[in-house]
Chain A
Amino acid sequence: MKLLTTNFIKCSVKACDSNMTSFPLRYDNQCELELNYEDDESIIEKSYQFLVGILDKIDWDALLKVCADLGNNDLPPNKPLLTQDSLLSLNDNERLILKQLFNLLINTEIVNGSMKCDSCEHVYLIKNGIPNLLLPPHLS
Chain B
Amino acid sequence: MSRPEEIAPPELFYNDKESKKYTENSRVQYIQYVMTKRSLELLNLKESSFILDIGCGSCLSGEIISSASEEVNAGMNHYWTGLDISPDMLEQALIRKEEEKFNNDDDSNSDDESNGEIGGLRNGDMMLHDIGQGIPFRAGSFDAAISISAIQWLFNKDNNNHDPIKRIKRFFESLYSALTKNGKFVAQFYPANDDQIDTFLQIAKQTGFSGGLVIDNPESKKNKKYYLVLSCGTMSSNDANDSDNLNLSGASMDVSNIHDKKELKKKRGNGMLESKKSFILRKKELMKKRGREVRGESKYTGRKRRDRF
Contacts and interface: CB of A to CB of B under 8 A. Distances in A.
Contact of B76 (A10, A49, A130): A49
B68 A134 contact: no
Interface string A37-75: 000101100110110011001010000000000000000
A131 B90 CA distance: 11
Contacts of A5: 81, 125
Contacts of B180: 57
A1 interface: yes
A134 B50 contact: no
A137 interface: yes
A10 B77 contact: no
- Give the size category of A's interface with B: 20 to 34
A131 B79 contact: no
Contacts of A11: 136
A43 B120 CA distance: 13
B128 A134 contact: yes
A50 B116 contact: no
Given A43-B118, A140-B130, A50 B125 contact: no
Residue of A1, A8, A40, A57 with most partner-chain B CB within 10 A: A8
B79 A106 contact: yes
B218 interface: no
- Give the size category of B's interface with A: 35 or more
Interface string A13-50: 01001000001000000000000000010110011011
Interface string B108-146: 000000011010000001111110011011101111000
B184 interface: no
Residue of A40, A106, A130 with most partner-chain B CB within 10 A: A130
A131 B127 contact: yes
A23 B83 CA distance: 19
Contact of A50 (B79, B127, B161): B79
A92 B161 CA distance: 57
Contact of A46 (B77, B90, B125): B77
B70 interface: no
A135 to B, nearest CB: 6
A95 interface: no
A133 interface: yes
A43 B141 CA distance: 24
Contact of A53 (B50, B90, B128, B129): B50
Contacts of A90: none
B203 interface: no
B150 to A, nearest CB: 16
B16 interface: no
Nearest to B178: A8
B118 A46 contact: yes
B47 to A, nearest CB: 6
B129 A133 contact: yes
A3 B127 CA distance: 14
Residue of A40, A59, A134 with most partner-chain B CB within 10 A: A134
Nearest to A84: B47
